[in-house]
Chains A and B, each alone.
Chain A
Amino acid sequence: MSSLNQLVSGLASGAVRIVDLTHTLDPDFPVIVLPPEFGQCARFRMEEISAYDHRGPAWKWHNISMSEHTGTHFDAPSHWISGKDVPNGSVDEIPAEAFVGPVVVIDCSKGAAENDDFELTPEIIAGWESEHGRIPEDAWVLMRTDWSKRRGADYLNMRADGPHSPGPTPEAIRFLIEERNIRGFGTETVGTDAGQGAHYVPPYPAHYLLHGAGKYGLQCLANLDQLPATGAVLIAAPLKIKNGTGSPLRVLAMVTE
């Protein structure tokens, strides 16, 4: 039996389960908010073209519009200035093999529940490895915070001094890139960086360091509480947008029962 046949029968029997890690594209879903003089991330919008009516009697369809970075989305290296010259840095150039691969989940939900500005540090990663083993090479690393369960204003958690949400320190990201050579890093928050990530050195370390090293980002993920710490496979294929710096996408994980 080939491995693909085994996978198909596993899926059929329920031995392999698919977990959807994607938020619904909804016009009212928060997007990242930048100072207003900067260009802004477009919200998801949907306009009806026809709905079995005088505009098209037998069919219903919509025009949709959004940013590359709206909703659950993928960040390509070319998203950040540090990754602008990385080879194959845009979504249409990334080899398709990169879109399916191993994933590990570092559970920070307890810390994030107690501290909106909770930081993922190298010490937390070391503690996780002592329990679950070394993070495998070329794996996705997802930071679970249960932030995806927040609704409304609690999601961005915007205050007068900016948003407050958990994220990695520059040292943690450096460790994941330099010591573990990960494929990418993903979060449940609106970005791969902490809400206050602008105040690190370098600012927005996850974006700056990951993309500079040709690594990928995933954000606005959901249902990370349904994934095992290790052993799942992530399917995250962005739309093939010419020179695209990212893309909304359906993120799925395969887990074994």
Chain B
Amino acid sequence: MSSPLSPPLKKDPQKRTQSPLRPPEARSRAALGLTAAAAEGRFALQVCDDCGTVQYPPRDVCGSCLSAALEWQDISPAGTLLAETRIRTSINLYFRERTPWRMGSVQLEAGPVVLCHVHGDCERGGAVTLLNRLDASGQGVLLAVPKDRTSNMEDDPQMRALSAAPKHRRILITDLRNPNTPALVSALLEAGASTIFVGEAESWRPHANRDLISGLEKVSVLPLDVTDTSSVQRLAGEIGGKTDILVNNARFLRPGGVLARGDTAFAREEMETNYLGLMRLAQAFGPGMCTRTNDGVNSAVAWVNVLSVFALSNTPDFGCFSASNAAAYSLCQSLRGEFRASGLRVMTVFTGPDDDDWTQPVPPPKVTSKALAKAIVSGLQQGLEDVWCGDVAMEIRERWRRDPKVLERELTQGGEGA
């Protein structure tokens, strides 16, 4: 069993905040397939199309038959821990301050022997499962964990370093008015968050969510309007130094494409909230969070942005909304690059239509607030970059990957004409 993680002490104001450090980032292009799989929590290795050999480490030609037809495939993560050791010193600054660090070799049932990080509860010769997780450099690395759960498993320091777990962390949810906020609050509290701040825009306009959450223990409702730069800056000034996870669920949504209204008013609101709101938050909270990614148990760890899956390919029923989400998704990719050096993760959560008033005429399946909250918590616990929540989001992802043009043609299927 792992020792349970203790809640962090209050910060010593005379001590300098530790600088962000990262494990090595360099990878070959072939090896980035592992990172792409880790970004959504899959365990994948290259498999030779010609002879079927499972490859490790990633490479350009098959180690067995020299074929270049290597495809990344999800394979069984089951294996046996062959050997293990604890590394007690390192010239790498990141590992140097984290020793001892457990490493080992695992015989995979699928064939290869892999060198990987090893969870403290794994026993030599024991059955293990390999997890493919993103490290602080945003690269996929392999961690062997015991096949069967052990107590406080997630509190193992090597496993926690490969996650963005909410436990003992302080979280800002940016939009009290979003219907999903109460479910998010309760899921994050259940996952061990120490404090939840909830931003409320326009308190002069009452909202039922305030009554649902404002009395909860560990929850504070604070003024925040992502369309108002001064409001965002004011809140960042107050709590920017203790925001460990920021969940941006602020959203403005109206149905319709370009011709539906004949003006740009709602489209502008969508851009103000969904795109520029994200930018304002990132400018105000991002730099502070980036300096605190090595700040102990409650270090800053992740930026979560909830997006419509139609950010990938426009659905004209919600054409302008989709466009604003495409812009926001692109901005999230920029933020990944800008946050990368600090180790702050950006998790994009793609959802299908939910139970919002504006999606009332959209047929099911719909994403419930509870399902979204669960996906966000589990995504944070696994340290994911891309979360696909609900059947619609997963289906769109598959079709988009298969052929973006075919998906576009299907989503823009015409009616009978005017």
- State the A residues within 8 Å of B (CB): 27-28, 30, 33, 36-37, 39-40, 43, 45-48, 152-153, 155-156, 158
Contact = CB atoms under 8 A, between A and B. Distances in A.
Contact of B204 (A28, A37, A40, A45): A28
Nearest to A39: B265
B265 A45 contact: no
B225 A30 contact: no
8 contacts: A27-B230, A28-B223, A28-B228, A33-B205, A36-B357, A152-B203, A158-B205, A158-B206
Contacts of B203: 152-153
B204 A39 contact: no
Contacts of B266: 39
A132 B204 CA distance: 37
Nearest to B233: A48
A22 to B, nearest CB: 19
Identify the interface centre among B203, B206, B225, B266: most chain A CB within 10 Å of its CB. B206
Contacts of B204: 28, 30, 152-153, 155-156
Given A39-B263, A40-B269, A46-B230, A28 B225 contact: yes
A84 B229 CA distance: 36
Nearest to B358: A36
Nearest to A67: B265
A33 B230 CA distance: 22
Contact of B231 (A28, A47, A155): A28
A131 to B, nearest CB: 35
B202 interface: yes
B296 to A, nearest CB: 34
B227 interface: yes
| Top 3 A-B pairs, shortest CB-CB distance | A27-B228, A30-B204, A152-B204
B219 to A, nearest CB: 20
B205 A153 contact: yes
A30 B201 CA distance: 11
Contacts of B225: 27-28
Interface of B: 202-206, 223, 225, 227-231, 254, 263, 265-266, 269, 357
A43 B204 CA distance: 13
A30 B204 CA distance: 7
B104 to A, nearest CB: 51
A46 B229 contact: yes
A45 B272 CA distance: 11
The dominant DSSP class at the B interface is loop
A28 to B, nearest CB: 7
A46 B232 CA distance: 12
B206 A153 contact: yes
Contact of B227 (A36, A45, A155, A156): A45
A172 B229 CA distance: 43
B265 A48 contact: no
B9 to A, nearest CB: 37
A45 B263 contact: no
Contacts of B228: 27-28, 43, 45
A106 B266 CA distance: 39
Nearest to B206: A153
B321 to A, nearest CB: 14
A186 B190 CA distance: 53
Contacts of B223: 28
A250 B206 CA distance: 29
A27 B206 contact: no
Contact of B229 (A28, A43, A47): A47
Contacts of A156: 204-205
A34 to B, nearest CB: 12
Contacts of B227: 43, 45
A155 B206 CA distance: 11
A27 B202 CA distance: 9
A40 B204 CA distance: 16
A48 B228 CA distance: 11
A27 B224 CA distance: 11
Contacts of A155: 204
Contacts of A30: 202, 204-205
Contacts of A47: 229
Given A45-B227, A153-B204, 4 more contacts: A28-B223, A30-B202, A39-B265, A48-B229
B66 to A, nearest CB: 56
Given A43-B228, A45-B228, A28 B202 contact: yes
A153 B202 CA distance: 9
A158 B207 CA distance: 10
A33 B207 CA distance: 13
Contacts of B230: 27, 46
A27 B280 CA distance: 15
Contacts of B254: 37
Nearest to B228: A27
Nearest to B229: A47
Contacts of A46: 229-230
A28 B204 CA distance: 8
Contacts of A40: 265, 269
A152 B204 CA distance: 4
Contacts of A37: 254
Contacts of B202: 28, 30
